Amino acid sequence: MAVNFYEEVDDALLRFAVIIAKTEGNYVFCKHKLRDTLEVPGGHRELGEAILDTAKRELYEETGAIDFDIVPICVYSVIEKDNFDGQESFGMLYYAEIREFEQELHSEIEKIIITDEMPANWTYPNIQPKLMEEAWRRGACSK
């Protein structure tokens, strides 16, 4: 598996939005109802949706964030032989600072975890830690 980073690609290639989120200096991770692992918020772009709108929607759906600032970090891609027939798939990586959450989650996410520690049990251990490292390297957020 390979994870690559780009400044930009054709917007039509962006299929995913992933959001590294913090609140009051701590990271916000999601625990899916069907998994015992943690992940950063994110998901698939819907047909006709702007990629920034995908990021905002996914952040709300997966964390309950209702008041936040969000900025793009960079484009990322994943090449994995078992996904997309081994073709490079692209997403946009964002950073969000969340000020306020809704009281209830309305999605497949069971709960959010707010912590200053990185998960030991990532849902996507070959991808999401690399996204975090790139965000730190670019100065988008602090460790």
First and final C-alpha spacing in the chain? 25
Tell whether 36 is covered by a domain.
yes
pLDDT at 20 over 90: yes
Tell whether 72 is covered by a domain.
yes
What CATH number is given to the structural domain containing 24?
3.90.79.10
Tell whether 89 is covered by a domain.
yes
Specify whether the CB–CB gap between 22 and 143 falls below 8 A. no
Whole-model pTM: value is: 0.94
What is the domain extent for residue 19? Answer: 2-137
Distance between CA atoms of 86 and 61, rounded to whole angstroms?
29
The closest of 114, 117, 119 to 38, measured between CA atoms, is 119
State how many domains the chain has.
Answer: 1
- pLDDT tens profile 63-104: 999 999 999 999 999 998 777 677 899 999 999 999 999 988
Burial bucket for residue 55 (CB in 10 Å: 0-12, 13-18, 19+): buried
Tell whether 143 is covered by a domain.
no
Q: What is the pLDDT of residue 143?
A: 80
Amino acid at the residue 122: W
Tell whether 142 is covered by a domain.
no
- pLDDT tens profile 116-138: 999 999 999 999 999 999 999 99
Tell whether 120 is covered by a domain.
yes
Tell whether 34 is covered by a domain.
yes
3-state class (DSSP) for residue 17: strand
Tell whether 86 is covered by a domain.
yes
Radius of gyration for the chain, computed over Cα atoms and rounded to the nearest angstrom = 14
